[in-house]
Every structure is written in structure tokens, then in C-alpha cells.
Amino acid sequence: MSASSRPWLTLIGIGEDGGLAPAARHALVSADIVYGSSRHFGLVDAFPGERRAWPSPISKGIEDLKSLYGQTVAILATGDPQWFGIGATLARHLRADEMRVLPSLSAFQLAAARLGWALQDVECLSIHGRPVETLRTAFYPGARILALTSNGDAPSRVAELLTQDGFGPSRMTVLEHLGGEKERIVEGQAETWRDEAADFHTLALELRAAPGAGFRPVVPGLPDEAFHHDGKMTKREIRAATLAALQPHPDALLWDIGAGCGSVGIEWLRAARGARAVGLEPHADRHAMAEFNALALGVPHFDLLNAAAPDGLADLPDPDAIFIGGGLTANEIVDTCWARLKPGGRLVSNAVTLEGEAVLQQAWQIHGGELTRLSVQRASAVGGLTGWRPLMPVTQWSVVKL
């Protein structure tokens, strides 16, 4: 590494005891400027550098930080800065050779050690600055969850959520100020939780379902009744086939065009950690349904736009996958989507009308892929007996852009 590319920024992870390894201590006392919170500054011994509080919003702090290039700068962070911390954020804005990271034990490691849990078998999540409903994607019987939270109100809100979703018997543990003089551990059940918690804590959950309670798996194909809808939605069996063709994977971006109640975009987000989705839905009532469903099913980060394609696509980043569920007969919709789809990306579209089917047949002839007719029948009462009632047949076109 040349002198010009030596790290000018050091991220220093600290625990509640304020202890620092020699390398971390040297970085702290050598820094011209040190960023941190009042809590961080209160945990470490005196140092000669200028103290600065991290500004809000975080984007302003990043711009301020980048203007200090050439000086020696340190940031005090809690535990491991790369695990739901400032380091993970800065890694998206700075080159790796500009930063040096000196982590301490993370809150997840400390909590797992206190509880005797094997960390590789635990869902480690953050609801710091995020809705508590984000946890819902990890709710299943027997799950163990460690969560970073925003404040002392979080355990009570999570307890309400667990009880509401049929997991009232779940065991909750609040681990406060781990590794410090004020360390305290409080345990209880979600359905009877009444304890107050310190703002600085880690929340541990052992999920137990109430008798007869169901749960929402992340495997695509949630029941139709899991969504608030007006009847115009991609039905369960077709949705499962659609998601299989779209192939969700971590960090991939989906365009959900004509999102409706949001069922496809929501299941895409639930299927892969870090997946992203932008939904276009110009009808106000369906847009509201999609927002409600995204929160109820644990993906409040679904980016829903009050827009229609193709005009609403202009300023969006290029996607890894596209689902055209509505607006298929709009002018140039397929051509626009095909031009913007990344190489190797997947485009899937469903049609239930003859006009939509004609668009898909033409696209198939031009671009190739697979054209499939999907037909589903469900058993239901016929008088005093039972018979099959067909759903509308769906023509599906799926293709990979080579």
C-alpha cells in the first residue's frame, strides 16, 4: 500500500467498559478529529484530538467526513462497526483502503455468550431506526432472534407484536449495558411483558407459538388472505410460480409494475435478505393496500411509488428483475423494460386478457424465453356436494436477458 493510499479514517469499536486494545488506543490519541456520541466520549479516557458529535441526518455527517480527507480522523462506535453499524454505511461511500476498522465484541456476540446460544443458529437483526414490524420476517416457531433496538420502548412494542401474531408465549430477554458496570438482564413472556428497559440494550427472543397459531413462512406462496386486497391480485398458486421465475436473491432489485396490493413485491422482499423492490401503483386505494400489507408482512422498506409505467421508470436504477403485473398493454412497456433490464436479469409478466396475451406472444417471438399457460382449480361447495371451480387461466412469459 502506497503512502498516498494509507487509511486516513479509523473506526474504533468500544464496549461498555471503555477498554481499548493498544492499536485502538494509539489510533484514538493520534487522531486530529474524533467523532462520537456523548456516551462514547464518556467511556474512554482523555485524548488530545478535537471532539465532534455525529450530525443528523447521517448523510450530512458523511459529507462532512469526506471533506476531512488528508487529516487523521477516528470514529468511536459501539462494538463491531461493520455489523449494523457506521462502518457498514461508510463502506458504501469510501474506498476500502481509506478506512481501517478496529472492532470490539459486538452486542450480538455478548448477548449470545450470556444466553449460551450458538450465534450461527440465531437471526441477528436491527430495528434501530426501523419499524418493529421488520422482525415479522423472522417469526416462526422455535426461532431465536437477537435484535438491536432504538430505545427502551422497543421491548414493549415487540411484545405486543408477538402477541398479536400468535407468539404470546415467546420468551423475551432484555440485556442492558452488556459488559459494563450497569449490566442487567430481565426475562419474561411476551403476553405478560410489563418491564421497562434501558435505552441501551439488546433484545433476545425465543419464539413459541400459541396453540393453533399459524405463521408466515418466507417461502413464496402466502395465502391470499394474508393480504388486504380488492380481489384483483396475483393468486397464491400463480404468485408462487411467478416468484420461482423471478428468482429472488440477496441485494437484487425488482421492479413490480402495476403492484396492486403489493403481493409479488412483498414476497420478493421476504424471500431473500437484502433484496430490494420498487413498486409502481397509480391507483390510490391499491397503493394504500400495498403499504398496509408491506408493514403487516415485515417489509416496510418496500419502495412504493404513486406512478405508472413507462413514464414512472425513467429515474429508477436498472433492475435485476422485472414483474409486469399491470399495465401490460401500455405503449412500449415491454420494450422499455427490456432496454433497462440488466444483462442476466429476469423479466416475468402475467396476462389474463386476450389483449395482454397478444402482447406476451409478440414479446416471446422477439426475445424468446418461455410462454406458459397456468390453470388452477379449487375445490368448493356445489350445493350439498363438492366440485372444482376454475380460476381465470393465466398466460405467463418469463425470459432471461442474455
The pLDDT profile of the chain, 402 residues, written as one tens digit per residue, is 344 468 999 999 999 999 899 999 999 999 999 999 999 999 999 999 999 998 888 888 899 999 999 899 999 999 999 999 999 999 999 999 999 999 999 999 999 999 999 999 999 999 999 999 999 999 999 999 999 999 999 999 999 999 999 999 999 999 999 999 999 999 999 999 999 999 999 999 999 999 999 899 999 999 999 999 999 999 999 999 999 999 999 999 999 999 999 999 999 999 999 999 999 999 999 999 999 999 999 999 999 999 999 999 999 999 999 999 988 998 899 999 999 999 999 999 999 999 999 999 999 999 999 999 999 999 999 999 999 999 999 999 999 999
400: helix, strand or coil? strand
**Which CATH code is given to the segment(s) 3-104?**
3.40.1010.10
Angle at 112 between CA 106 and CA 113, to 5 degrees: 90
> CATH 3.30.950.10 region(s) of the chain?
108-206
Residue 5 is predicted with a pLDDT of 61
User: Domain 224-400: which topology?
Assistant: Rossmann fold (3.40.50)
Start-end ranges of CATH 3.40.50.150 in the chain? 224-400
Sequence ranges of the chain with CATH classification 3.40.1010.10:
3-104
CATH class of the region 108-206: alpha beta
Helices (H), 212-306: 236-246, 263-271, 284-296
Helices (H) and strands (E) in the chain, counts: 11, 19
DSSP secondary structure letters along 350-381 = EE-SHHHHHHHHHHHHHH--EEEEE--EEEEE
pLDDT at 60: 86
Cis amide linkage into residue 250, ω under 30° from 0: no
